[in-house]
Amino acid sequence: MIHSMTGYASRVVICAGEPYKIELKSLNHRFLDLKIRMPKTWVSLEAQIKTVLEQKIKRGSLEIWIERQRPEKNESSFRINEGVAKAAFQALNDLKHRFQITDDISVRDLMSFPDVVEKNTNLELGSEDEKVVFAGVLEGLSAATSDLLKMRAQEGARLKDALLTIVSELQKAYALLVSARDQIQARAQAKIKKRIEQCFEAYSTTDEKNRALMESRIAQEVSYALEKLDIEEELTRFKGHVDQIEVLITSGGQVGKKLDFMFQELNREVNTLGNKAQDLGVSQEVIELKMKIEQMREQSLNLE
């Protein structure tokens, strides 16, 4: 099984009689990048949250939101942080006196300072309640992570099918290119043979020694020319890369980075193949192959 890095999950848990919502959203990323958003007073819980997630998820940009789902009806949704507000007001007054500013200090000026007004989460807990809430949140987080992994697995299965479909198309293209190679070689031999005949007609000689020397030299040039056009080695490596990609996809696990490397290698062989063949049909096939490889690469960027 392979996993996508894209997914979403949420859970609501009841802890100490209060509902807490846990949301997880993951996107593709080169490494595991955790962004945890929760009440500032819960800093001690962060290490445990990271441990839960790192045990189950190895790659992706993961955002985590943890908050009490709703405040009580008799509570305000926001509260004034008086200490920060007083410090901000004093700082503004100092600026007024230092630079002889006559404008009055407004609420908007105070609001420009961060944390003057905070969302009232009412999450200052007693020690016993804190243990209950933290245990419940961690349990809910573990459940939400499992839900997220299921979604990532479903998306991974879809990507796997799409990638294997393109692998099948690459294998068919290989068979066509093998046939094209034989045709290219046959056409090249015929063209070279005709030029040799024209050469002997233009520079005929009755001297057997000179003729043997010319034939030997021409044979060397023919061999060199055919070798430059031969794409057998590139085709062999192309097939090897395609087979390895198929093995990686079907084996599952954390294959995203490996596939990205294999696509680079495969694209390099296709480029060389097109340059050597010097054939219109092969050049057109190479363009199609490069498009398919790029399509696979883009899809694999979402794989863990």
pLDDT digits (tens, 9 = 90+) for 80-130: 778 888 888 888 888 888 888 888 888 888 888 887 777 655 545 556 678
Kindly tell me if the per-residue pLDDT of 208 is higher than 90: no
Mean per-residue pLDDT, 144-151: 95
Q: What is the CA radius of gyration of the chain?
A: 35
The DSSP output letter for 303 is: B
Mean of pLDDT over the chain: 84
How far apart CA 250 and CA 172 sit, in angstroms, is 19
Q: Which of 84, 138, 136 is nearest to 110 (CA)?
A: 84
Which residue type is seen at 81? N
Kindly tell me if the per-residue pLDDT of 209 is higher than 90: no
Mean per-residue pLDDT, 217-240: 74
The DSSP output letter for 42 is: G
Kindly tell me if the per-residue pLDDT of 279 is higher than 80: no
Kindly tell me if the per-residue pLDDT of 158 is higher than 80: yes
Q: Which of 269, 6, 304, 2 is nearest to 162 (CA)?
A: 2
Q: Which of 174, 188, 182, 294 is nearest to 237 (CA)?
A: 174
Question: Does 1.10.10.10 match the CATH number of domain 7-72+126-153?
Answer: no
Give the dihedral sign, CA 44/70/19/72. positive
pLDDT the model gives residue 77: 61
How far apart CA 250 and CA 234 sit, in angstroms, is 24
Task: Count other Cβ atoms within 10 Å, centred on residue 24.
Answer: 23
pLDDT digits (tens, 9 = 90+) for 169-199: 999 999 888 888 777 777 766 777 777 667 6
pLDDT digits (tens, 9 = 90+) for 31-59: 999 999 998 888 889 999 999 999 999 89
